[in-house]
Amino acid sequence: MRRGGREDRLETVVWSPPDERRRMLSALDAAVRALPGVACGIVPRKGLPVLHVISSAEPARSVEIGGDYLEGAWHFVCARSGARLGSRADLARVALAAAEAVGAPDGHRA
């Protein structure tokens, strides 16, 4: 359609819900943030979101957790090695393991 010598364009914005990987990492993000001594955030790695977890006291200590669909179910995995950390249902356990991995034993810091 042309009006006044210029072409009007209709932009279509299609909203799509976040994918399952993003949803499960967001839930893990909230669980980890609730623990003392750690900080985290979702960041892109090789085009996929991962949860980057650091020690609040020692930011150089970090771990990255991804999500993979394996054998018909979503699992948390170590982003670096691909090792399975737990299923989607293991949210609390994976959050504590992430805290321990960066130096907050049992999710607590003295």
At 59-110, the pLDDT tens digits run 999 999 999 998 888 999 999 999 999 999 999 999 999 999 999 865 554 3
12 in a structural domain:
no
Give the range of the structural domain holding residue 44, as residue numbers without chain letter. 18-107
Cα 8 from Cα 71, distance rounded (Å): 49
36 in a structural domain:
yes
3-state secondary structure of 70: strand
Burial of 86 (0-12, 13-18, 19+ CB in 10 A): middle
At 16-53, the pLDDT tens digits run 445 899 999 999 999 999 999 999 999 999 889 999 99
Domain count, the chain: 1
7 in a structural domain:
no
